[in-house]
Amino acid sequence: MSRIIALAAGLVLAAFSANAQEQVTDFHLDNGMQVVVIEDHRAPVVQHMVWYRAGSADEPAGASGVAHFLEHLLFKGTDTLESGEFSATVAANGGRDNAFTSYDYTAYFQRVSADRLELMMRMESDRMVNLRLGEAEILTERDVIIEERNQRTENSPGALMREQLNAAQYLNHRYGVPIIGWRHEMETLSLEDALAFYRTYYAPNNAVLVVAGDVDPQEVLALANTYYGVLPANPDLKPRDRSVEPPQTSPRRMVFEDPRVAQPYVTRSYLAPERNPGDQKTAAALTMLAELLAGSTTSLMNERLQFEKNIAVYTGAFYSGSSLDQTTFNLTIVPAQGVSLEDAEAAMDVVLAEFMETGVNTEHLERIKMQMRASQIYARDSVESLANRYGRALSSGLTVADVQAWPDVLQEINEADVMAAAQLVFDDRQSVTGWLTGVTSEVSQ
Amino acid sequence: MRLFVIVAFAMLAALPVSAEVDIKEVTSPKGIPAWLVEEPSIPFVALEIRFRGGASLDLPSKRGATNLMTGLLEEGAGALDSQGFAKATEALAAQFGYSASDDTISISARFLTENRQEALELLRLSLLEPTFDEESLERVRGQVLAGIRSSEKDPNDIASRHFDALAFGDHPYGSSLEGTIESVAGLSREDIVTAHRNALALDRIYVAAVGDITEPELGALLDDLLGALPATGADLPARAELALSGGTTVVEFDTPQAVALFGHEGMDRDDEDFFAAYLLNTILGGGGFESRLMEEVRVKRGLTYGVYSYLVPKDLAALYLGSVSSANDRIAEAVEVIQSEWARTASEGVSAEELSKAKALLTGAYPLRFDGNGSIAQIMVGMQMQDLGVDYIATRNDNVNAVTLEDVNRVARELLAPDALQFVIVGKPEGL
């Protein structure tokens, strides 16, 4: 017997009626695997995804990058599939497949004609438990991930600085270690490292199946029971208890110099709370705060620093609450030609101080809410992004109910909520400020 | 992520067949043509507009004018200044995107049914009555210049700029559409107005709409939105002469991983052998993990994270390009393997099994692309620009399947030219 929860959740928004609601059904299999079905019958396509609640922040010390390394290795053989046969079979069926790894999750997906769903489930459930790896292919694939690190990180001064910045932001939590891994540890990753991670975390009771597209929820459930439901749960799966940050009591600053930098900039991150089950209000307020400060042309930092004065060519504020543990709130300013990093940072701080003084522009907050309501409509045009939204949330500690409630929580945020969140997050003692620059003598250019 | 997804515009050739998509050819009362798919289930419309010509219409010494003009369309129009335009757009939750490429100016709009008229009036203002005020010009110029300075130290951008210059010399294709620091610094408001007048005209327009809108509504919309555009724009530039001669050019740049671009002459989109060439490229380097290049360079040797090849049929020239990146001490081997696969494929061709897999991939993928209002609108506007009829969709897979092994292997011999393959490598490659 599977538990069936049909969601008729009240996402209904005054301005848009029930049109804004996506069709979502969710189940749990007996072995603990969660299943989410999102219906979209406009095209005969299905997105089939398995999300493991295991990412780089779950890695053992000394083996950074192993979650991502294992992701690559899942495309090698199993008891019944040759190395490479998985993707070849997807391609032979006119589909495409890929995978991605983050701090809190590792996800695998195929996008295929809806009538090929069963084949995808057969293969994906197979590699959840039957992976077979050889020593030689491990070494070649390790070279591939090192080239991937070269491409994403070593060749990009901005990426190298973000790596250092994150490491300084987190004193005790694994979010301070890059997802792709530190190079010196990647170079020593072994077959046993990968298999140990696989045995610990790859099991149905640590996975979320998301199926989105032209499918019937009951048929998905029947197939899921056939292919995933028969796999044994891992009885030794531990709760995700990670090390916790100590009080952060000192602002950190860094200057990252690299001759490859053409456009210097200042970026700052603050430790920030994440979305939690049944408790998403602060995260919603921070989401609004980022929009108000630098979400669009009309936001405060842009208005003050690009329109009223020619201090910046770009300003940005970023916050994403989908995270298992404490996340960050980030600000960036790219100075205009002739403005120093020092002056740019000072100008940014003046705008922040002004915001804390004068508070939220109500009309602006209303515009943002209007856009967020509309985004519920636009989002329904891409079932793929809806599938990602659910998968990411459910593997980051949230529930289906939290995902469904989120738009309403955002709409309910008022001016005072935003200011309270800003007071909480703009604490210099919990911040890291980085300057990315060419060579020191060019700082003022 | 295991694999970067490369969005090559040649992928337009992989248009799916889908009986589900009911395309109507609409002509507005004033004679503006458009393709429409009515899809009332979500209360919004995706509208795609294209103007042929794009940044290649830049006048001599005015390189970057079309790109800067396109960036300024949303920076003030009619009585609204830049901030006023943005606030009005946000209040309606409409989404407008404006971009310039070598051959095209693209406008992508998404707007809600409930405020369609107001949203379209804003879009109309931005296309017909942009103010191009001095303040916005200076601000956006500053952003473009910052982008150009960054490109000058980005290995991928350095590689494309060198490759384009080698391939096309003085033709607009031979330089970046953003322009140079000098050319952009020298652009006046008058240059921007001229670029606008030259590029946005009815004799080169293509429109597709998908969503919650009917045929008569779209007809009226087209006239209101676009009817006042000038009838004609500037002449399109002449066809570009390809000046590549093969060999390897190294651009010294101190970075750990070398970036390589390679290519030679390609095939035009309207060539009768295009499907054969497309299948050939799927097998050689376009088919993701199943391609020969990926198998030899990444899977067997671990020399790169990704290696790809792609047909690039531009309006005024056709290229066959590829890219790879490897650590400085490994790039020479990657280049050698690519050259050898290119030569092997030219001389030996492909196998019947490889061809049948490539056909399965291309034809099987057909419904996957018609998966949303936005994507269908983009596909439809692209088909019109390629001069494909609505009936193309119904026959496309048959045309793919009709390609024979002899066709593909003849095209392999004719198209693949290992000795003409030009490599541009940015980094500090060893052994090259």
Query: Measuring CA to CA, which residue among B138, B144, B148, B147 is closest to residue B76?
Result: B138
Give pLDDT, residue A202.
Answer: 98
Contact B44 A377 (CB under 8 A): yes
Identity of residue A121: M
- Of all residues in chain B, the one with the smallest CA distance to A76 is B299
- Find out whether B164 and B173 touch, Cβ atoms under 8 Å: yes
Give pLDDT, residue B365.
Answer: 87
Q: Give per-residue pLDDT as tens, A136-148.
A: 889 999 999 999 9
Name the pLDDT band for B14 (thresholds 50, 70, 90): very low
Q: How far apart are the C-alpha atoms of B419 and B182, rounded to whole Å?
A: 37
Q: Kindly report the backbone phi and psi dihedral angles of residue A43, in degrees, each rounded to the nearest multiple of 5, phi listed first.
A: -135, 145
Nearest neighbour of B360 by CB, restricted to A94, A96, A384: A94
B347 touches chain A (CB under 8 A): no
In terms of C-beta density within 10 A (0-12 exposed, 13-18 middle, 19 or more buried), how is residue B134 classed? Answer: exposed
Nearest neighbour of A45 by CB, restricted to B145, B327, B367: B367
Contact B300 A140 (CB under 8 A): yes
Cβ-based contacts of B142 with chain A (< 8 Å)? 310, 313, 336-337
Cα B57 to chain center, whole Å? Answer: 16
Nearest neighbour of B2 by CB, restricted to A94, A99, A140: A99
DSSP secondary-structure letter at A378? H
Residue A115 makes CB contacts below 8 A (sequence gap 6+) with A44
Cβ-based contacts of A88 with chain B (< 8 Å)? 289-290, 357
Rg (CA), chain B: 23
Give pLDDT, residue B20.
Answer: 61
In terms of C-beta density within 10 A (0-12 exposed, 13-18 middle, 19 or more buried), how is residue A1 classed? Answer: exposed
Q: How many CB pairs under 8 A join A and B?
A: 198
Token pair recorded at residue A381: 């045009």
Residue B15 pLDDT > 50, yes or no? no
Residue B430 pLDDT > 80, yes or no? yes
Across A377-396, b (16+ Cβ under 10 Å) vs e yields bbbbbbbbebbbbbbbbbbb
- Find out whether B212 and B46 touch, Cβ atoms under 8 Å: no
Name the pLDDT band for A440 (thresholds 50, 70, 90): low
Name the pLDDT band for A21 (thresholds 50, 70, 90): low
Q: Which of A22, A59, A71, A124 is catalytic?
A: A71
Cβ-based contacts of A371 with chain B (< 8 Å)? 90, 93
Q: Which long-range contacts (CB under 8 A, 24 or more apart) does A170-173 make?
A: A170/A245, A171/A245, A171/A246, A171/A248, A172/A243, A172/A244, A172/A245, A172/A246, A173/A57, A173/A242, A173/A243, A173/A244, A173/A245, A173/A325, A173/A326
Cβ-based contacts of B287 with chain A (< 8 Å)? 91
Token pair recorded at residue B47: 């509208």
Query: Measuring CA to CA, which residue among B12, B119, B136, B164 is closest to residue B68?
Result: B136
Q: Give per-residue pLDDT as tens, A57-92.
A: 999 999 999 999 999 999 999 999 999 999 999 999
Give pLDDT, residue A136.
Answer: 86
Residue B9 pLDDT > 70, yes or no? no
- Find out whether A407 and A13 touch, Cβ atoms under 8 Å: yes
- Of all residues in chain A, the one with the smallest CA distance to B357 is A92
Token pair recorded at residue B218: 């779209």
Cβ-based contacts of B114 with chain A (< 8 Å)? 15-16
Give pLDDT, residue A365.
Answer: 98
B6 touches chain A (CB under 8 A): no
Cβ-based contacts of A45 with chain B (< 8 Å)? 367-368, 371
B371 touches chain A (CB under 8 A): yes
Tracing tokens 């130290």 back to the chain, one arrives at B153
DSSP secondary-structure letter at A223? H
Cβ-based contacts of A373 with chain B (< 8 Å)? 93
- Top residue of A151, A307, A361, A369 to mutate, by most chain B CBs within 10 Å, is A151
Shortest Cα–Cα distance, A3 to chain B (Å): 30
- Of all residues in chain B, the one with the smallest CA distance to A377 is B42
Give pLDDT, residue A18.
Answer: 35
Q: Say if strands B104-112 and B95-100 run parallel, antiparallel, or are unpaired.
A: antiparallel
Residue A22 bears catalytic tag: no
- Find out whether A49 and A107 touch, Cβ atoms under 8 Å: yes
Nearest neighbour of A91 by CB, restricted to B259, B290, B304: B290
Shortest Cα–Cα distance, B146 to chain A (Å): 7
Residue A381, SS3 per DSSP: coil
- Find out whether B104 and B54 touch, Cβ atoms under 8 Å: yes
Give pLDDT, residue B283.
Answer: 97
Residue B2 pLDDT > 70, yes or no? no
Q: Give per-residue pLDDT as tens, B76-117.
A: 999 999 999 999 999 999 999 999 999 999 999 999 999 999
Give pLDDT, residue B231.
Answer: 97
Q: Give per-residue pLDDT as tens, B314-351.
A: 999 999 999 999 999 999 999 999 999 999 999 999 99
Token pair recorded at residue A225: 């029971």
Q: CA B168, B173, B178 angle in degrees (round to 5)?
A: 135
**Side-chain-side CA neighbours of residue A167 (13 Å):** 13
pTM score: 0.93
Cα-Cα-Cα-Cα dihedral sign, residues A403, A407, A411, A413: positive
Contact A42 B41 (CB under 8 A): yes
Cα-Cα-Cα-Cα dihedral sign, residues A397, A400, A402, A406: positive
Give pLDDT, residue B154.
Answer: 96
Nearest neighbour of B43 by CB, restricted to A19, A84, A298: A19
What ipTM score was computed for the predicted complex, to two decimals?
0.92
Cβ-based contacts of B288 with chain A (< 8 Å)? 87, 91, 96
Q: How far apart are the C-alpha atoms of B409 and B277, rounded to whole Å?
A: 9
B329 touches chain A (CB under 8 A): no
Contact B110 A307 (CB under 8 A): no
Nearest neighbour of B20 by CB, restricted to A19, A43, A306: A43
Shortest Cα–Cα distance, B203 to chain A (Å): 32
Contact A142 B305 (CB under 8 A): no
Average pLDDT value over all residues in chain B? 94
Give the mean pLDDT of A360-379. Answer: 96
Cβ-based contacts of B153 with chain A (< 8 Å)? 260-262
- Find out whether A286 and A319 touch, Cβ atoms under 8 Å: yes
- Find out whether A74 and A148 touch, Cβ atoms under 8 Å: no
Give the mean pLDDT of A225-236. Answer: 98
Helix (H) or strand (E) holding A79: none
> How many other C-beta atoms lie within 10 A of the C-beta of residue B391?
9
- Of all residues in chain A, the one with the smallest CA distance to B301 is A140
Residue A2 pLDDT > 60, yes or no? no
The strand ranges marked E within B183-234 are 205-211
Q: Give per-residue pLDDT as tens, A107-119.
A: 999 999 999 999 9
Q: Which of residues 253 through 272 in chain B touch A, CB cutoff 8 A?
A: 253-257, 259
Beta bridge partners of A107: A51, A100
- Find out whether A356 and A426 touch, Cβ atoms under 8 Å: yes
Q: How far apart are the C-alpha atoms of A338 and A443, rounded to whole Å?
A: 10
